[in-house]
Chains A and B, each alone.
Chain A
Amino acid sequence: MSEPLLVLDGVTKRFARPLNTGERIASWIGAGPGPRVVRAVEQVSLTIAPHETLALVGESGCGKSTLGRVAAGIYAPDQGRVTLAGAPVMSTGRRPHKITTRVQTVFQDPFASLDPRMRVGTTIAEGPIAHNLVERADSTRYVASWLERVGLPADVATRFPHQFSGGQRQRIAIARALAMQPDLLICDEPVASLDVSIQAQVLNLLLELRRDLGLTCLFISHDLGVVRHVSDRVAIMYLGRVVELGTTAETFARPIHPYTRALLDSVPRLARDGARGREIKPIAGELPSPLAPPPGCHFNPRCVHAIDRCRSEAPELLPVAGRIAACHRAEELLATV
């Protein structure tokens, strides 16, 4: 494999819920519960090679969006490093801020990610002008060329976001991200909030642009059908940790980790040739609270293969058959596929 473009090295991101006044007084006299910390992302290391698309998959609340935002330079990691082509994505210091323009993000909700009071053209041109990618005098032409690339007419630039549908807004959001000429595009559930009929159009647009511009992508999704369609490799996350990582084809064909298997089994699918479809097996139980993750393997309370060791010792991510998985029984389970 060539030199990776994006490297996430041991990234941990915690969110502390601030104590309210009562709790603060209680903790002064030593009776309080102490600060509550959510470990949204725990010791995650990933690399993405140039021109590759890595999908990040998991249930809501598993930390995939947080990890995406750490990679995008929106959140600074509490531990670990994020580098793009060897250079750090965020500055260090007391108030870290993003210092590269080479990674850009397409957000999930195009109704929230565009400034409602700014004309579309201004929104798209703002970043490129600020970073001298284009002269202010040329910006109209520049914006029009990007709007054309995402399949929108040039006169869109003079209008406001509320005048567009969800699919059109997401195209605008894609144009804004691409106008910064990034190497890496982070797509945080880019089609999840769109109508199904629009999803395919926007996905195809993303695939086309990825090919034409030679983009590298981090694609965050909970939709396994979409992931299978767009990604080269897939990382499965559960409660802040990566539990399995491998090429999309292999992972979907021969999942190792019990969570991956459960996830794949829980997807409703239409049966081919009129035969009865496979049974849909929902994953038993709920995602545990990240405030109090279960000891050992985080998945053990919901895992049908759990043994005593799983309840006491957290499994490490280890290579298994060309992939990596975090499961004590990975070898045994692989044999059963």
Chain B
Amino acid sequence: MAGTPIADFWAEFRANRVAVVALAVVLLTVLATLAAPILVPQDPYDLANLTLRDARRPPGYVGTAGFTHVLGTDAQGRDLLSAIVYGLRISLGMGITAGCIAFAFGATVGAVSSFVGGRIETIAMRIVDLQLSFPAILLALVLAAVLGQGKTQLLIALVAAQYAYFARTAHGAATAERHKDYVEAALSTPLPARTVILRHIVPNCLPPLIVVATVQVANSIALEATLSFLGLGLPPTEPSLGMLIANGFQYLLSGRYWISIYPGVALIVLIVAINLVGDQVRDQLNPRLRR
């Protein structure tokens, strides 16, 4: 019980080896994608670098540019390792951005509707319930189809599909906090409702929301990959992992497995790692799971 809450939290987190490895994987992925331009051998989107003579070569092939394609090349002769790192960059960026916006929007909807109560609460929460009863992918698919391609459109589709989880969680937590004495003490000071929600209720609702956030970032990465795989996600000029998988799909049965498999492996490793970190965070923040 020594030290700050954060130090205690880290000490407990460190005890789980799997979670530490998963966290390392996530952090390394983030670092790798941030440093992508200096890390990978080729800018996969510079068409001047590509030559069709290198297309669909297996892992280990030494290309015309003189370097080894560790994971092989795709149908355009693009270095797959470079394409995967750039793809991760887009996938991770979209996933985290969508997760953060959904967090902010959902938590606001949940906390405010719980605080205000009455008809507004009923309407907002029934909409959320309605959404939660559909698979998120369905809503995202419909929105992506209606809005068309593009980063903003995809973000809107992802946020719309995911905010409901945050809103539901925030609403539950805020309703539990709402009638605690410290909230009534703050209201009876009196402090304005906005201050009470932002400074007292929301910080006390954070633990369950953080758990939802880690899971939902992984989910929005998967969701984005699905949409891109189906051709409803980002335009081909910004290929995410989903599109890389889709591009190699047609060659899968002809033995050129690497074009689809390696982006798929990267996607799975990232999602599993985020989920493992999320599981550990949930175990630590949920007092009922403590031994």
Q: Which residues of A come within 8 Å of B, CB atoms?
A: 69, 72-74, 97-99, 101, 104-105, 107-109, 112-118, 126-127, 130-131, 160, 173, 176, 180
Given known A118-B203, A126-B199, A130-B195, contact A113–B181 (CB-CB < 8 A): yes
Q: Which of B33-41, B67-75, B84-92, B182-190 contacts A (4 or more CB under 8 A)?
A: B182-190
Leading 3 A-B pairs by shortest Cβ distance: A113-B181, A127-B189, A112-B181
Closest B residue to A112 by beta carbon equals B181
* Chain A residues in 8 Å Cβ range of B189: 101, 104, 126-127, 130-131, 180
Q: Is the CB of B188 within 8 A of A105?
A: yes
Chain B residues 198-229 with CB under 8 Å of chain A are: 199-200, 203-204, 206
The answer to whether A98 touches B203 (Cβ under 8 A) is no
Closest A residue to B116 using CB positions: A95
10 contacts between A and B (CB under 8 A): A72-B188, A101-B190, A104-B188, A107-B184, A112-B180, A113-B182, A115-B186, A118-B200, A130-B195, A180-B189
- Would you call B191 an interface residue if the criterion is a C-beta within 8 Å of the partner chain's C-beta atoms? yes
Contact yes or no, A126 B185, CB < 8 A: no
How distant is the Cα of A99 from the Cα of B5 in the complex, in angstroms? 36
CB nearest to B191 among chain A residues? A130
In the complex, the chain B residue whose C-beta lies closest to that of A106 is: B185
| Contact residues in A for B206 (Cβ distance below 8 Å) | 117
Interchain pairs with CB closer than 8 A, number: 62
A114 CA to B192 CA, complexed, in Å: 17
Is B191 a contact partner of A127 (Cβ separation < 8 A)?
yes
Residues of B within 8 A of A107 (CB): 181, 184-185
Please report the C-alpha to C-alpha distance between residue A118 and residue B200 in the assembled complex, in whole angstroms: 8
Which partner residue on chain B sits nearest A126 by CB separation? B191
Contact A176 B199 (CB under 8 A): no
Residues of B contacting A113 with CB < 8 Å?
181-182, 185
Q: How far is the CA of A275 from the CA of B192 in the complex (A)?
A: 58
Provide the residues of chain A in CB contact with B199, threshold 8 Å: 118, 126
In the bound complex, CA of A97 to CA of B184 (Å) = 12
Closest CB in chain B relative to A128 CB, distance in Å: 9
A98-B188, A180-B189 known, 17 other contacts, Cβ within 8 Å: A73-B190, A74-B188, A97-B190, A99-B190, A101-B190, A105-B185, A107-B184, A115-B200, A118-B199, A118-B200, A126-B186, A126-B189, A126-B195, A126-B199, A130-B191, A160-B5, A176-B185
- Chain B residue numbers with a CB within 8 Å of A180 are 189
Asked whether B204 lies within 8 Å of A74 as measured between CB atoms, the reply is no
Q: Which of A74, A97, A109, A115 has the most CB of B within 10 A?
A: A115
Residues in A whose Cβ lies below 8 Å from that of B200: 115, 118
Q: Quick one: closest B residue to A173, CB to CB?
A: B185
